[in-house]
Amino acid sequence: MNCISRTIAPAACVFLSGSLFSQEKPASLTGWIYEDASGRSVAARVYIESEDGTFYFAEPADANGKAVTYEKKRKDSVEMHTCLSEHPFSAKLPPGTYKITAERGHEFLPATTEVTLKAGGTAEIELRLKRWIHMAERGWFSGETHVHRKIEELEVVMEAEDLNVAFPLTAWVTDSKKAPVPFLPEKEKSDPPIARILNVGFNRIVWPLNTEYEIFTVDGKRHTQGAFFVLNHQKPFTQTVPPVGPVFEEARIQGAAIDLDKHNWPWTMMLPVVAEGNHLLFELSNNHIWRTKFAFTEWYPEHKPTYMNIPGSQSYDEEGWVDFGFQSYYALLNCGFKIRPTAGTASGVHPVPLGFGRVYVKQEGGDLDFEEWFDGLKSGRSFVTTGPMLSITFSEFQPGSEISEEESDDLDETIEVVGRIESAHEIEKIEIVVNGEILPVETGGPIGSQAPHSAFVRESVELEGESWVALRVYCRTPEGRIRFAHTAPVWVEVEDGKPLLPSLLQAKYLQDRMAGEIQRNKDVLPEEAIAEFEKAFDFYRDLVEKALEARKNANNN
């Protein structure tokens, strides 16, 4: 995982993603980026692309300016940009026509212009970014929990991406025999960061002590288990895995959260069973979801069950991958796990900007407060997005709430889903999700909003028993790509109602995955680690039996 982004001093050269300049004298481009309404200079992410698809990088044109270049490629998926501070930028370019694009997170519309440069010529451009929503003014602050960027570059990058909170993974391990070591790409050896809040700008906070366990080697042999992250811990972890139980116990002691990373790692569906008592997070937008072209079409397709009806036998497209993640999350929720959603990109390793997938957390008001924000993340006062913005309540409760009839006199076995959906892209569909069942919602007309696209939701949902309820929305870009948002669920207790259970297909799928992992690992993992898979198998087997009994009772009625 070597990060090759660079922080450029004003006098540095321009890095090219293609060949060196031709023999013609280069042209000089100077640019300024402004927020359209206020006219103030703002930081942003900038792309400079020639007609033949070659990318070029900008540098500061001001002695006080800063720039961080980013150059990553996976197959045909390319991400090449420069994150710039709020100062003018410049670039030396071969003669030709260029498209220059500035973006700043998801709350601003991109600004694009074209310029034709002659040999030895000069040009000046202005890019004006229009803010279409201001979530922080509504008490919503954004964050990202799967970050592989250098701490020293986050000041520039977080401001350019309008991201409020970041959790860089500063310790990492891939071998079952080793404890995590500092993962700082710019140094071979370094002490771990100190557990403290780093304020890298106004309403920009970094928590620097976070660890990734990503096990590919067991007892000296290649044998993949998967990954999870320990977020916001107070001191370095010295435990090895597997087994994972000791790490989860230490995470509880330190008040950390566990991010489950991707849903189809071999060990993922075992982790919630063993992590009882931990604050668990599930990445509804994970590090395979990018601004650029979707690439990981064949990531453990053997774990994709037929009951999910996801197209493709041994591959996914982007929408199938997203749906696989959603349905995996729903299966775990139906098993009784109160897992909250999060988002991560692995920016620093993959071709994706920091915060492309992000989680917004609700605060009661005022400026960003890290402790309140992290508590909200763990509690689920949140929604995950790759673009659309949500302001949704459930019978006046925020996402993440656990609602009993005693707490809500108006519940009466129904829940009122109310709120706003706003997006830079066309809203394709809005859906309420109840225990994994999808209830389509009429989108209706636009509401009073600065957003290019918007809708208002007011739906009454009847509940038959213990339930969880969430809302999700899909939007479509002009290029045909999906952008989505998904609230954390609320959990609702209904007196004398049916207990929450997975479907028989969900429970059997999870049981079968554990059976397969026990067989795959039985001659490789230590007994303590096999016992964790066996515990998970027993847990899901019990749910299979309960689901069978529920089906039998339903048929008899």
The pLDDT tens digits of the residues spanning 280-296 come to 999 999 999 999 999 99
**Quick check: 344 pLDDT over 50?**
yes
> Could you tell me if 167 and 124 lie in one domain?
no
How many Å apart are CA 245 and CA 275, to the nearest integer?
A: 7
Domain assignment present for 1: no
Q: Once rounded to an integer, what is the mean pLDDT over residues 183-202?
A: 76
> Could you tell me if 303 and 448 lie in one domain?
no
Domain assignment present for 70: yes
Are the C-beta atoms of residues 507 and 543 closer than 8 Å to each other?
Answer: yes
24 falls in which pLDDT band (50, 70, 90)? confident
**What is the average pLDDT score of the chain?**
93
> Could you tell me if 209 and 305 lie in one domain?
yes
Residues in contact with 526: Cβ distance below 8 Å, sequence separation at least 6, in sequence order: 242, 243
The enclosing H or E element of 500 equals none
- Using the 3D structure, point to which of 96, 131, 166 is the last residue of a domain: 131
Phi, psi for residue 148 in degrees, rounded to 5: -120, 35
> Could you tell me if 107 and 139 lie in one domain?
no
The count of structural domains within the chain is 4
Domain assignment present for 40: yes
Are the C-beta atoms of residues 183 and 142 closer than 8 Å to each other?
Answer: no
Q: What is the pLDDT of residue 155?
A: 98
Q: What is the pLDDT of residue 20?
A: 44
> Could you tell me if 339 and 435 lie in one domain?
no
**Quick check: 8 pLDDT over 70?**
no
Looking at residue 140, which CATH number applies to its domain? Answer: 3.20.20.140
> Could you tell me if 284 and 429 lie in one domain?
no
Going by C-alpha positions, the residue among 350, 382, 389, 376 that lies closest to residue 484 is 389
Q: What is the pLDDT of residues 59-105, one digit of tens each?
A: 999 999 999 999 999 989 999 999 999 999 999 999 999 999 999 99
- The β-bridge relationship of strands 211-218 and 221-231 is antiparallel
Least confident of 110-119, 380-389, 398-407, 515-524: 398-407
Are the C-beta atoms of residues 12 and 5 closer than 8 Å to each other?
Answer: no
Q: Which two tokens stand for residue 342?
A: 């999060």
Q: What is the pLDDT of residue 429?
A: 97
> Could you tell me if 159 and 189 lie in one domain?
yes
Task: Find the domain containing 113 and state its range.
Answer: 6-131
Looking at residue 421, which CATH number applies to its domain? Answer: 2.60.40.10
Q: What is the pLDDT of residue 11?
A: 29
Q: Once rounded to an integer, what is the mean pLDDT over residues 464-472?
A: 96
- Using the 3D structure, point to which of 116, 131, 146 is the last residue of a domain: 131
The pTM for the full model equals: 0.94
Q: What is the pLDDT of residue 67?
A: 98
Q: What is the pLDDT of residue 495?
A: 78
Q: What is the pLDDT of residue 445?
A: 80
Q: What is the pLDDT of residues 390-416, one digit of tens each?
A: 999 999 999 999 998 766 666 668 999
Say which residue, 497 or 358, is predicted with more confidence. Answer: 358
Q: Once rounded to an integer, what is the mean pLDDT over residues 544-551?
A: 94
Are the C-beta atoms of residues 353 and 292 closer than 8 Å to each other?
Answer: no
> Could you tell me if 66 and 110 lie in one domain?
yes
> Could you tell me if 418 and 343 lie in one domain?
no
How many Å apart are CA 342 and CA 269, to the nearest integer?
A: 17
Q: What is the pLDDT of residue 191?
A: 67
